[in-house]
Amino acid sequence: MTVDAVGGVWRYAMDLCRALNDARVRVLLVGLGPPPGTAQGAEAASLPGTRLQWLDAPLDWMAPDAAALVGVPDELAALAARAGVDLLHLNLPSQAAGLRTERPVLIVSHSCLPSWWAAMRGTALPAEWAWQWRLNAAGLARAEAVVAPSASHAAALRATYAPEGRIRVVPNAAAVTPGAGPRELLVLAAARWWDEAKGGALLDEAAARSPWPVQAAGALRGDNGAAFTFHHATALGPLPAEDLRNRMRRAAVFASPSRYEPFGLAALEAAQAGAALVLAEIPTYREIWDGAAEFAADAGCLAAALHRLASDPALLHRRAAQARERAARFTPDRQLAALLAAYAAAAAAACPAE
């Protein structure tokens, strides 16, 4: 299974590897891009049936051109052969472009630059980034099975790449216990804020008008040189996973103003932890949270939603309960069952019965 240490794929992989290990599936976790921090390395090392190996290779969205990625598929195929794995689970479609292996290949698309561009700009992908589309399209065509974490992202993949065959929807999962103590009257948000799609500017503008303090966890500067600065929200910086979850257990509200979100794992964790949700008005969040959250299309709407919750304790309590009830649908057991079925479909496609 491929992984990176930059964004939500790390959290996805850690939780999934734990569930796979519990099901007696061993995982060779292969990292690309910037190496993991000390806490991340320790978390991976704690998994009983998972071994982490890091490659000196970039992620596609951090690479300057296609030439920087040319050796990745061969390196992955060689690793799979040496380790004797049964299946390759790749968390970037481009990693399967030109991949030569007889082992079944499953791709999970968590996000991609072309669909990000479509959501954020609404225009054709610039010519200088066309290679990103070509590699992703080739990887999707190469795989025996393709998985998306939401129907909304599956639709975006179809619109962007028109891949042949059916895309399976396997929602992400989390297992966060709710907090037992009183809620702090504050708003928590968590994202890689250097990515403009995460809505840092919108959150900061709403924070200036929020009835409660707004705290923003997550990196402000990316390895690609992008950066963001908060002026009204309090920046907490990157936090260890359990520290962030403890804050979710205490915060009255969790906000996610993201304009591009293929799933939104942080919102799920916060809902399981007991926070009420205020989310961006985007298809993914409507798909998953409609009827269980407040929605906001801009900074003014976000500030107004926070005021509604602050002025109506019954509404705040109801929204938290609705979010927690909805979040109960997205458990590791359900994710594992659906993913194992996708693994089986990939294996059957790679080795059809004679």
Each domain of the chain, given as residue ranges in start order, spans 2-171+332-350, 184-327
pLDDT digits (tens, 9 = 90+) for 179-233: 888 899 999 999 999 999 999 999 999 999 999 999 999 999 988 889 999 999 9
Say what the pLDDT of residue 163 is.
84
Give the confidence band of 353 by pLDDT, cuts at 50, 70, 90.
low
State what percent of residues in the chain have pLDDT above 70: 99
Say what the pLDDT of residue 342 is.
97
The structural architecture, per CATH, of the domain 184-327 is 3-Layer(aba) Sandwich (3.40)
HEC profile of the chain: CEECCCCHHHHHHHHHHHHHHHCCCCEEEEECCCCCCHHHHHHHHCCCCEEEEECCCCCHHHCCCHHHHCCHHHHHHHHHHHHCCCCEEECCHHHHCCCCCCCCEEEECCCCHHHHHHHHCCCCCCHHHHHHHHHHHHHHHHCCEEEECCHHHHHHHHHHHCCCCCCEECCCCCCCCCCCCCCEEEEEEECCCCCHHHCHHHHHHHHCCCCCCEEEECCCECCCCCECCCCCCEEEECCCHHHHHHHHHHEEEEEECCCCCCCCHHHHHHHHHCCEEEEECCHHHHHHHCCCCEEECCHHHHHHHHHHHHHCHHHHHHHHHHHHHHHCCCCHHHHHHHHHHHHHHHHHHHCCCC
How high does pLDDT run on average in the chain?
Answer: 95
354 pLDDT more than 80: no
pLDDT digits (tens, 9 = 90+) for 267-322: 999 999 999 999 999 999 999 999 999 999 999 999 999 999 999 999 999 999 99
Give the confidence band of 149 by pLDDT, cuts at 50, 70, 90.
very high
pLDDT digits (tens, 9 = 90+) for 64-82: 999 999 999 999 999 999 9
Q: 2-171+332-350: what CATH class? A: alpha beta
110 pLDDT more than 90: yes
331 pLDDT more than 60: yes
Q: pTM for this one?
A: 0.94
Q: What is the mean pLDDT of residues 28-35?
A: 96
